[in-house]
Amino acid sequence: MSMQAVLRGQLLATARAMSAARLNVGTSGNASVRLAGGGFLVTPSGMAAEVCGDDDLVEITAAGEARGSRAPSSEWLLHRDIFAAFPAAGAVLHAHPPFATALACQRRDIPPFHYMIARFGGSTVRCSSYATFGTQALSDAAIAALQERCACLLGNHGMVVWGRDLDHALALAVELETLCEQYWRTCQLGAPVLLSEEEMADVVERFRWYGRPRAPGSEG
Catalytic residue IDs? 75
How far, in Å, CA of 165 to CA of 168, rounded? 5
**In 71-204, where do the E strands start and end?**
91-95, 151-154, 158-163
Q: Among residues 80, 81, 169, which one has the least CA distance to residue 119?
A: 169
**Burial class (CB within 10 angstroms; exposed 0-12, middle 13-18, buried 19+) of 217:** exposed
The one-letter amino acid at 72: P
Which residues are within 8 A (CB) of 32 and not within 5 positions of it... i.e. 6 or more apart? Answer: 11, 40, 41, 42, 43, 73, 76, 79, 83, 91, 92
Give the end-to-end CA distance of the chain in Å, rounded to a whole number.
Answer: 40
Indicate the DSSP class of residue 94. Answer: E
